[in-house]
Every structure is written in C-alpha cells, then in structure tokens.
Structure 1
Amino acid sequence: MRELVRDHAGALGMELSESPSEGTTVCLVVDAAALEHQERAVRTGRLPLLVVTASPEVPQEVWERALAVGAQAVVPLPAGSDGFLSHLAEFSRPRAASRILGVVGGCGGAGTSSFAARLAAAARTHGSTVLIDADPLGGGLDLLIEAPEAAGIGWADVSGLGPDDGEALHDGLPAVDDVRLLAATNHVGPAPEPLARVLTALRPLGSTVVVDLADGLVPDCAEHLDQLLLVVPASDHAVRATARRLRSWQLPDAIAQVVVRRRGPLTPAEVSQDLGLPLAASFRDGPAAAVPLLDVRRRGADRSARRLMAHLHQEQAA
C-alpha cells in the first residue's frame, strides 16, 4: 500500500514522508490503527488528513475513526485512484490562492442563489470573480441574474478538465458584468466529480470563487471550500432544518458560518447561537423586482454582501 501511495504522489511530483514534519503538504495514514497515532500531528500542525485503505468497501471502523480525528476523506486504493490523485493535487496547491466560498441553504427556499449572486457582485471590487451554479435541480443562475446568451464553457464541457487547466477554464467562461459564470444552461448541473475538478483547477488563480451549492453536494466538495456560508431564514422551522443538515454533512471544523435572512421572529444572534455557528452576515429582502448581480443596491442583501466580502478580503490579506 505504501508503494502504491508513493507512486501516486510521484505522479504529481510529490515525495512520500513517513512522518509529518515542517513542509509536509498532507498527512496520510494507511490503516485504522495509525489514525489515533497521527491525530496530534494533524491537530497541532493543521495538516489536512487523507486516510487510505486497501479494502474496496471502506470498513465502518475506519470511517468512524477517520471522522473522529477530522479526516478530509477515506480513499480505497487502487479502486479510488482518480479521486486520490484529485485530493493530492488539491492539497498540494497553495491554500492562500483563490478563496472558494460555498453558499448553501439551511432549508428549502432560503434565498441561497440570490445571496450567492450578490456576494459575487461584491467580490468584483477585490479582483477576478467566478460564480458557479452547482445546484443540479435549481432553476439556473443564468436565468436568475438575467444573463444574456453567450458562447462559453458550461457544465457540459468540463468532463476532461485537469488540475492545470484553471486559466483556460476561467478565460473560457462567459462574463456577466465582470463576473465569470459557470452555469448548466439547458444541460444537467454538476455531479460531485466534475465540481471537484473545477474547484481544483480554479484554486491557484487568485480569484474569488462563489459556489451556489445544492445541499446534496456539500459533503463531497467541503474539502475544497475555504468557507461554507449557510443562508438561514430567521425562523424555528428553518433553524431545525439547518441543524439536521449540519448533522448529516459532518463538516470539517470551523468551515461553516451562518448568514441570516431576516424573515421570521428570531434575531440573527439567536439563530447563530441555536446552530452553534459564527454569524457571518444578516440581511433583509430587497425589492422584489431587483435582479441579483445586475441591480446592485445600497442597502439590504447587497450591503451585507459587500461588508462580508470586505471582511473576508481583509482576513485573507492578514
């Protein structure tokens, strides 16, 4: 198994070290017994952790121990070779390059797509911005923002994308008001693997990448995100639904924050406290006729998005 891992690492120009040390990119363990031994290195060195197993079906005890120590993924080899290479390529890239922000609804009808588009509009002043429609069953971000029909790369074109194709992907996406848009148009939206390929390719470009996520894709792409923003209406029903989704996703530590849509009896602070998540922003609905990204307003969700992006930009610079 170690030789197989070494071969995969070598294919990406990486060397396999037997113990985590300064300069290590990722912590790898190859059996369940080694997980507890490596926990300290993972926790203190803030290394991403991949668990590799020779079993085609991952044993339950491996899953349980991997989750307990914060593993990013459990990969069977050789069956999962493509996924393993994708993970290694992602972790070997500088984490301070692009900032990748996932936006997902804590419940149905939360207003996720609208806030994602407004967040992308706010990001334009900080540099290159990509807005990704990653909701296979949604109505389409291109329709929401009234994007004109334009030739360019869509989800139907990314199946052969490699980790070094980020610039070609970025330049091939249609631009809407200085925001690059990856949308499904008339095709089916992304599955987990194409989405992972896209995020891996965009990582080194230094852009802000805003991903409008379907809730079912969150577990598969969480490792690629710098932050996951949960849009939650200020009601008990929405908070309960969000709590259930959080339990099912089993997210990495400190990745999730809440954005409160102030439609309901709860205060933003109460929603944050009930969910045990930091409050990233809160907003009130804007005029019904306003088009996200196209119509930028001084107040409401647009102002909240601007404040949030300014904070994230300062945080990244620091």
Structure 2
Amino acid sequence: MTMNKDNMFIQCVSGIGACFILAVTYVSSLYVWTVRYREPRDHPATIRRRFISAFCMLFVSPLFVWISINQDVLNKVGLLQIMGLRLSGSFSALIFPAILTVILFAGPLAVLVYDGMFFLIFNKRYLTLCLRSLHWQRNYAVAPLSEEFTFRACMMPILSQFMSTKIAILVCPWFFGVAHLHHLMDKISNGCNMAEAVTVSCIQCGYTSLFGLYSAFLFARTGHFLAPFIAHVICNFMGFPDFVGVLSRKDGMKGVFICVYIAGFVFWCMLLFPLTNPALYDWQWD
C-alpha cells in the first residue's frame, strides 16, 4: 500500500513537473527575441516575432503530451483526440460554451449595449480596422489559440494521466495564472513603478487563474479544444468586468445593471452543468 502511494506521488510530481517545464517553455519562447531586440511588448515587430513563437509552440507543446501519456492510451485513443482536436461534437463545442460565456458577461454586455459601444462590431469600417490590427489579431486570435492549445489541450491530458480529472481542473489554472506574471517585466520596462506593477500583475494572475479554472472545466467536460478557445476569445473581448464603473454610475441605470450582473451570474451557475453535459459533445466525463 505504501509503495503504491509512493508511486502515485512520484507520478503526480512528474505530471506537475512536465507542465511546469511546458509553461516555462511557452513563456520563454516569447522572450527569446529580447536577446537581440529591445522593442516593447506592443511594438508591431515584437508582436510579429511572438506570433512566430506561438506558431512554433503548436508543434512543441504536443511533444510534452506524447512523452507523458501512456503509449497504450496513445495507440488506443490517438494524440489529436486526447488534445480535444476532433470533429465529433464540434458544433456543440462552438455554440454552447459561447452561449454560457455570454450569459456570464450579461452585465458588462448590457452596459455596452446601453452606452452604444456594442454596435461598433457591426460597423464595416471598424471591423476592417480590427482585422488588420496586429493587436486585435494577437488578443482575439493568436493568444487564445496558442494559450488554450498549450495550457488546456496539452496540459490537461498530462495532468489527467497522473491524477483525477477533477483535481487536474484545480491544478491546471495555476500554471496559466502564474505564466501571466511575465507581464510584470513589460510593465516595469514601460516605466511603471514596482509597487503598481506588482499589484496589477497579481490581480491579473488571480483573474487569469479564475478563467483558467473555467476553461479547464470546459475542456474536461466537453473533451473539445474549441470550447475553451471560444470562451477565451469572448473573455478577452469583454475584459475584466468594470464593477467600479457600474457602482459609480449617475444616470439612474446603476440598479438595473447591478440586477443584470447578478442575474447573469445566477443563470450561468444554473446552466453551467446542463450546457456542458458531455452527452452534447459525444464525450464521456471521467
């Protein structure tokens, strides 16, 4: 019995260690260019170079899965399906997680609609400018794609190999949250003082860890890469909810928006499990 517990502990540490190395590899790939180039994070040249890093990680990250997963499981299921890259259940993975995430952001969306900002997405000129923007491509395409691929499609199978899926859902987000602490260096290099940079980075780490928990849950329940990817795109578009802005409104809409915020969260909680029912995605929950 003791030997089995020791083996389980060693395997668990091995899985966490593999994910840690993968997270470090991902972040390092973004900064490898700084050895030669010194442009800030939002400089077009920096964004393009990091696009290259993200593209390379699409080939590097699966190697960690291939090395970590039991060979019998790989032969039986296949590497792509283990990482949630499958056609079966794709329509559900595109629709239901999007609906669920929009419900969660019902409050912020209501504010955008009331203030008229939401309708900008239907403006052809605005959309054209967005699609041509490297910042837009980074925030709503490349970053969600590469991050979900590495931190969910690759890390979740590795962790699930050595621990229960439920525990993996709790462990995986920490790699994602801590990985965002690298923005601390960007803030300091842009002239932000240490105290402010640390505070903002810690808040970002907490927020991204919470999202990572939701994203890992979606991946585990649906068995699909598309589910957390779509949720990530929506969350990046909405940003962190502006609770302070709602509470400080003076136009008589504060009470309405607070109710919508609460209602969105309540309905999200009610629909979280029904809309992620594995049967909808042709998937079997562990």
TM norm structure 1: 0.23
Instruction: Name the structure with the higher strand share.
Output: 1
